Chains A and B, each alone.
Chain A
Amino acid sequence: MTNAAHFISEFPLPDARGRFGRFGGRYVPETLIPALDELQAAYTAARNDPEFLAELDTLLREFVGRPSGLYLAENLTRRAGGAKIYLKREDLNHTGAHKINNCLGQALLAKRMGKKRIIAETGAGQHGVATATACALLGLDCVVYMGAEDIRRQSLNVFRMRLLGAEICEVTSGTSTLKDATNEAIRDWVTNVRSTFYILGSVVGPHPYPAMVRDFQSVIGEEVKVQMQALEGRSAPDAIVACVGGGSNAIGIFAPFAYLPPEQRPRLIGTEAAGEGVHTGRHAASVAGGKVGVLHGSMMYLMSDPEGQIIPAHSISAGLDYPGIGPEHCYYSTEGMAEYVPVTDAEALDALQLLAREEGIIPALETAHAIHYAMILAAELGTGKTVVVNLSGRGDKDVAEVARLLKGIESLGGVEA
């Protein structure tokens, strides 16, 4: 197939004010507004600069290993008994997840802007590892904010980041998870804005972050188009499933299809983390919760009490444990361009084991949410149809936590055929 990113996709939204309909915008302290203007100008110049695009393309190909495979999961397909299930193998990227696509783009941009100090937030640690990797490669200083709770459950990634030379700042404010790590990263940026580039890891935050992160991740969906054409003779599958916390892997695979005319558009389905069940209140399903507000600089669906205090999210997976969802997803949801369905902790844990046994792939707990729903959807769509699942990350980081949750290896086996 063609090289991954000799171009960066263009999309009709956001508008000039950084809005996807009513969602998005720039709700941040005034201190940051000039920096966001500067970032937007630098990004616009970079994405139109052949030299920047060629440098990014080379890194994506030779450092990351793109294009990632589109793999027909025959055992899983047989098991579901319906549509063909394809797995978009972002788990095979260097560092083990889709996050590196965005980090390299932003780190190259930081270098171009002459910013030597990089900060990032991380939940599961995948974005932190990818940022630390990009910084090591490009010779940039790296500080990663991570919640104390996430440091506990993702200790492998903490060690990886340290090996890569990053400084980890433990965050103990609020709920000690991704939301609070993001708050601290933004506070750092407000303080050190003149010297520092903030590599945001998801399609959240003030404009232009949701658009820029989407653009760098849209290489996933662009590759799927080419690969589907070669495998199935048409560029769009019947459905695409991806897990959604902030929503960067999902937007990366959705966006290149989302703005097609409705009759050409595949069904786009984001799986939100339902935790212990949406009815219990212990979940991270922002669309299902249905409240609109402002979090981390952007108007979005979020989890809050009736007076606007943000409610702690809950998910088995640190990467989905976030009480909001990116503004473009909110727009897709209200416009009917994509659907968002809740998947519980227990369902994800089962799906992780299922994929391991059936296909020999241990997915990240985040990704397992998408696998669960893809099985249901494949059966529902029936034979002759195709479903693409974004296999956004691998599960190495989760093995210790999964073992803890299953109370040891001896309790495995509940999913045997």
Chain B
Amino acid sequence: MTVVDKPSRVGRIHAAFERAASEGRAALIPYMTAGYPDQEGFPAVAQELLKRADLMEIGLPYSDPLGDGPVIQKAGEQAILQGTSTRRTLQFVKELRPTTDVPLLIMTYINPVYAVGPEEFMRLAADAGVDGLILPDLPPDQDDEIRDLATRYGLGLTFLIAPTSTPARVQIVTEACTAFVYAVSVTGVTGAREGGALNEVPALVALARQHTTLPVAVGFGVKDALTARKVAVDADADGVVVGSAFIAAVKAGQDLGALADDIKGGCVKGG
């Protein structure tokens, strides 16, 4: 059983952002649902993304994902039907861990964490080699235990801010984060949308920076080089999270690596 090595997990996350910054880029943070497109195909998809990723989010699928749009919902439903359980998801992480130094983050909802038991969940995640957790339906002031447990097991924590967040909420959320701050680009769920999205991102990132020195990553609605540039360059974010676009590409049988390269190109600062 491993518990300690606290500095190395959160440290690995911060180092990944620093490395990207030193190369004049915002960090590319792909998201992929564990067990998608199927149990056999997931590791290869994950490796394709890990080759280009600075950090990577692995989605632990949940039956009722309130924060997700149709693409990630359907990927999760499919993965669950094919047996992607909590333990299977962590087993995927365990298998990926020796192959990469890229920080691996679990993104899931709070109910699967409570069902296993928060402490048992943290222990299993730490053992599997997870570096951090993102829980989009857990505002940090809803549960003090999660934060204490994450600290004890050395896992980084990321909570979310949104365009509706007041300065008081941004203060609460950024103080609770230990890994990085996740700024949601629009009011809405994950996935691409039409028209003038992402216009609120610069102000949101600027507001976050008034409250924290942690890296600020932006997600929701980034799907290509153009939208990545809006986030990385126009809003000067430290990281760009892309999920639905990669899942849609896997589903359509498109070249995942080419899409990731293209988006990574959009992450270059001053480009």
Contacts and interface: CB of A to CB of B under 8 A. Distances in A.
Interface string A296-319: 110000001111111000000000
A294 B139 contact: no
Contacts of A66: none
A180 to B, nearest CB: 8
A33 interface: yes
B219 to A, nearest CB: 12
Interface in B147-189: 159-166, 169, 173, 184, 187-189
A193 interface: yes
Interface in A1-46: 25-35
Contact of B111 (A33, A193, A304): A304
A172 B163 CA distance: 29
A396 to B, nearest CB: 32
A187 interface: yes
B252 interface: no
A204 to B, nearest CB: 13
Interface stretch (B37-45, B61-69, B243-251): B61-69
Contact of B164 (A26, A35, A308): A35
Contact of B187 (A27, A192, A296, A310): A192
A26 B139 contact: yes
B114 A191 contact: no
A306 B120 CA distance: 13
B66 A183 contact: yes
A293 interface: yes
Given A194-B164, A294-B114, A308-B86, A31 B169 contact: no
B15 interface: no
Q: Find the residue from A26, A27, A31 having the highest chain B CB count within 10 A.
A: A31
B1 interface: no
A190 interface: yes
A295 interface: yes
A240 to B, nearest CB: 32
B16 interface: no
Given A25-B142, A190-B188, A294-B137, A30 B162 contact: yes
Given A34-B166, A191-B188, A28 B115 contact: no
Nearest to B89: A307
A308 B112 contact: yes
A59 to B, nearest CB: 31
Nearest to A27: B137
A90 to B, nearest CB: 30
Interface in B98-128: 109-116
A310 B139 CA distance: 21
A156 to B, nearest CB: 28
Given A30-B165, A308-B86, A309-B63, A293 B137 contact: no
Interface centre among B87, B116, B137, B184 (most CB of A within 10 A): B137
Contacts of B173: 30
A31 B115 contact: no
Contact of B139 (A33, A173, A190, A292): A33
A186 interface: yes
A31 B162 contact: yes
B112 A29 contact: no
Interface centre among A29, A30, A194 (most CB of B within 10 A): A30
Contacts of A27: 110, 137-139, 142
| B interface bracket (residues with beta carbon within 8 Å of A) | 35 or more
A229 B163 CA distance: 53
Interface string A158-195: 00000000000000011000010001001100111110
Given A191-B188, A294-B137, A307-B112, A34 B164 contact: yes
A300 to B, nearest CB: 11
Contacts of B62: 308-309
A28 to B, nearest CB: 6
A198 B200 CA distance: 24
Given A28-B137, A31-B164, A187 B187 contact: no
Given A191-B188, A193-B164, A308-B111, A183 B64 contact: yes
Contacts of A190: 66-67, 187-189
A306 B165 contact: no
B78 interface: no
Contacts of A186: 66
A222 B113 CA distance: 40
Contacts of A307: 85-87, 112, 115-116
Contacts of A33: 139, 164-165, 169
B129 interface: no
A30 B112 contact: no
A222 B64 CA distance: 36
Contact of A34 (B66, B80, B114, B169): B169
Contact of A308 (B66, B113, B138): B113
B187 A193 contact: yes
B33 interface: no
- Identify the interface centre among B163, B164, B189: most chain A CB within 10 Å of its CB: B164
Contacts of A309: 62-63, 80, 112
Interface in A51-101: none
A25 B111 CA distance: 13
Interface in A374-405: none
Nearest to A310: B63
B114 A308 contact: yes
A295 B64 contact: yes
Given A190-B66, A307-B86, A308-B86, A294 B110 contact: yes
B164 A306 contact: no
Nearest to A293: B111
A293 B143 CA distance: 13
B136 interface: yes
Contacts of B114: 292-294, 308
5 contacts: A29-B67, A30-B165, A307-B87, A308-B114, A309-B63
Given A173-B77, A308-B114, 4 more contacts: A33-B164, A34-B164, A35-B164, A190-B187
Q: Which 8 A-B pairs have the closest CB atoms?
A: A308-B115, A308-B112, A31-B162, A191-B188, A308-B111, A309-B63, A310-B63, A30-B160
Interface of A: 25-35, 173-174, 179, 183, 186-187, 190-194, 291-297, 304-310
